[in-house]
């Protein structure tokens, strides 16, 4: 069974700090998606990475797909309170069609 493990599980930082969230698996994924979810809402798609080694930028967010397509990272530069939320990686699973990571709950303090 494919699993996506995220680290850290919780992160509380001050506004202006940088942070990196990791998404790791022992399995290869053809693509990975990153989502952000706020309380009481559904996840919102941030980005899709497809090619090994691919780097995508979305304003202050940088997403990277590992060369072997087994892992991914999300780096946020100069975090702001509006970045607060649950960050989820997800990808097409083997046995089950689609799996989500365990999630990283980020809180950015003003």
Partner 1 sequence: ETGVTQSPTHLIKTRGQQVTLRCSSQSGHNTVSWYQQALGQGPQFIFQYYREEENGRGNFPPRFSGLQFPNYSSELNVNALELDDSALYLCASSPNPGDPYEQYFGPGTRLTVT
Please report, as ranges, the residues that interact with partner 1 according to CB under 8 A.
Answer: 30-31, 33, 35, 40-45, 48, 50, 88, 90-93, 95-103
**Choice between 9 and 80, CB closer to partner 1:** 9
Q: Which of 11, 6, 41 is nearest to 24 (CA)?
A: 6
Say if residue 8 is preceded by a cis peptide, omega within 30 of 0. yes
Q: Which two tokens stand for residue 57?
A: 């930028």
Report the nearest approach of partner 1 to the CB of residue 16 (Å).
28
**Choice between 25 and 33, CB closer to partner 1:** 33
Report the nearest approach of partner 1 to the CB of residue 6 (Å).
8
**Choice between 98 and 110, CB closer to partner 1:** 98
Residue linked to tokens 């930082």: 13
CA gap 83, 99 in Å, rounded: 23
């Amino acid at each position: 069974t494919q699993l996506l493990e995220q680290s850290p599980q919780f992160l509380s930082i001050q506004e202006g700090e940088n942070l990196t969230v990791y998404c790791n698996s022992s399995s290869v994924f053809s693509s990975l998606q990153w989502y952000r979810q706020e309380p009481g809402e559904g996840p919102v798609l941030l980005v899709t990475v497809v090619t090994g080694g691919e780097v995508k930028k979305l304003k202050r967010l940088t997403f990277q797909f590992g060369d072997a397509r087994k892992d991914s990272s999300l780096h946020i530069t100069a975090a702001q309170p509006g970045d607060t939320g649950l960050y989820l990686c997800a990808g097409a699973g083997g046995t089950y069609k689609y799996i989500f990571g365990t999630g990283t709950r980020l809180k950015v303090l003003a």
